[in-house]
Amino acid sequence: MILVTGATGNVGRNVVEQLLAAGQEVRALTRDPGKAHVPAGAEVIRGDLSEPDTLSPALEGVTAAFLYAVPGSAPAFLKAAKDAGVRRVVLLSSLVVDDDAEVQPNAIAALHAVVEDAIEESGLEWTFVRPGAFATNAYQWLGQIKAGDVVRLPFSQAVTAPIHEADIAAVSVKALTSEGHVGARYKLTGPQPLTLSGQVRIIGEAAGRPLRLEEVPPEAARQVMIQQIPEHLVDTLLDLQARSVGREPLVTHTVEQVTGRPARTFAQWAADHADDFR
């Protein structure tokens, strides 16, 4: 049995789906099973990483777990996992974690590094899956796209190599179900650098109407973003965007090396989700 935490999220849902397709028994952890949209075939169980008392039942009979990083949750989860006989943990971490830094460079890196450190110290087998910018970050623009043909953002020339959530899941599934991945820190990106302006254009092409990006001051964007994302993370994201302007982002081939097929392009992601933006 494989436990998937964050099972209703963009990555977790794909992990569940791909594990089931591979013939694995899957238990999906969710705070509200009655409202959970989880692929058919998975066992759904109530649990919350921030509520340690809910973890033991969820981990019973589990041999491997896909873990979503929730601040402060790692010690209780890892203790319960060891008590239950779990052998392997695959963590959804972040590309911004710096292995050589005494102090992590930003809040996102610090959050994930704390969980990574706890897992390393636990004695369990582990793999860290470290994606960069998620293609699903484009959902932050959904309201603007539904309302018109202009997306207002700062840093129109900020560059990332956005990765499809299905590719993050595919690497995670390999690490959960096959040998040769213990101790790996997998840096994951999509296959091509794209500006934010380019991403908006590609979404428009997939949705069947022209979209354009209009640049706005960072503070104006910040006021909108803090309605969706914790404030300290918004500041980190805006700083990362500002720093990326005019720079070539890291592009890795890890997805292909682990799964045997190339990472999906952002155009493929936009085509897969085009109905969401129409």
Average the pLDDT over 165-188 and give the result: 98
The three state secondary structure string of the chain is: CEEECCCCCHHHHHHHHHHHHCCCCEEEEECCHHHCCCCCCCEEEECCCCCHHHHHHHHCCCCEEEEECCCCCHHHHHHHHHHHCCCEEEEECCCCCCCCCCCCCCHHHHHHHHHHHHHHHHCCEEEEEEECCEHHHHHHHHHHHHHCCEEEECCCCCEECCECHHHHHHHHHHHHHCCCCCCCEEEECCCCCEEHHHHHHHHHHHHCCCCEEEECCHHHHHHHHCCCCCHHHHHHHHHHHHHHCCCCCCCCCHHHHHHCCCCCCHHHHHHHCHHHHC
Residue type, 247: R
Residues 234 and 137 in one domain: yes
| pLDDT above 90 as % of the chain | 83
Q: Residue 230 is encoded by which pair of tokens?
A: 């914790």
Domain assignment of residue 259, yes or no: no
Chain mean pLDDT for the chain: 94
Residues 126 and 6 in one domain: yes
Report yes or no on 177 lying in a domain: no
Query: Final residue of a domain: which of 86, 111, 131?
Result: 131
Task: Read off the pLDDT band of 188 (50, 70, 90).
Answer: very high
Cα–Cα distance for residue pair 81/270, rounded to 1 Å: 37
Tell me, yes or no, whether 171 lies in a domain.
no
Q: What would the pLDDT profile of 214-263 be if each residue is shown by its tens digit? A: 999 988 888 888 887 788 788 888 888 889 998 999 999 999 999 999 99
Residue 148: CB partners within 8 Å, gap ≥ 6? none
Q: What is the pLDDT of residues 126-150, one digit of tens each?
A: 999 999 999 999 998 999 999 999 9
CATH code for the domain of 33:
3.40.50.720
Joined together, the tokens standing for residue 127 give 């793999």
47 shares its domain with 109: yes
In this model, does residue 33 exceed pLDDT 90?
Answer: no
| Tokens encoding 72 | 């402060």
pLDDT in tens, 15-25: 999 999 999 99
Average pLDDT of span 58-69: 96
Q: What is the pLDDT of residues 110-130, one digit of tens each?
A: 999 999 999 999 999 999 999
Average pLDDT over residues 31-43: 88
Flag whether 32 is in a domain: yes
**34-43, 105-114, 157-166: which has the minimum mean pLDDT?**
34-43
Do 115 and 205 belong together in one domain?
no
Q: How many domains does the chain have?
A: 2
Per-residue pLDDT of 93-107, as tens digits, reads 999 999 999 999 998
Whether 206 and 115 map to the same domain: the answer is no
Residue 157 sits in the same domain as residue 109: no
Quote the pTM value: 0.94
Pair 242, 143 in one domain: yes
* Sheet with strand 26-30: strands edge to edge: 43-46, 26-30, 2-4, 64-68, 88-92, 125-131, 185-188
Lookup: tokens for 77: 């989860």
Residue 157 confidence (pLDDT) above 90: yes
- Please give the pLDDT value at position 192: 97
In a domain, 154, yes or no: yes
Do 106 and 148 lie in a common domain? no
Q: 19 and 105 share a domain?
A: yes
What is the identity of the amino acid at 94? Answer: S
Of the residues 85, 113, 131, the one at which a domain ends: 131
Q: Is 156 within a domain?
A: yes
**In the prediction, which pLDDT does 225 show?**
84
Same domain? 115 vs 228: no
Range of the domain at 149: 133-163+189-250+265-278
In this structure, are 10 and 106 located in the same domain? yes
> Does 43 share its domain with 150?
no
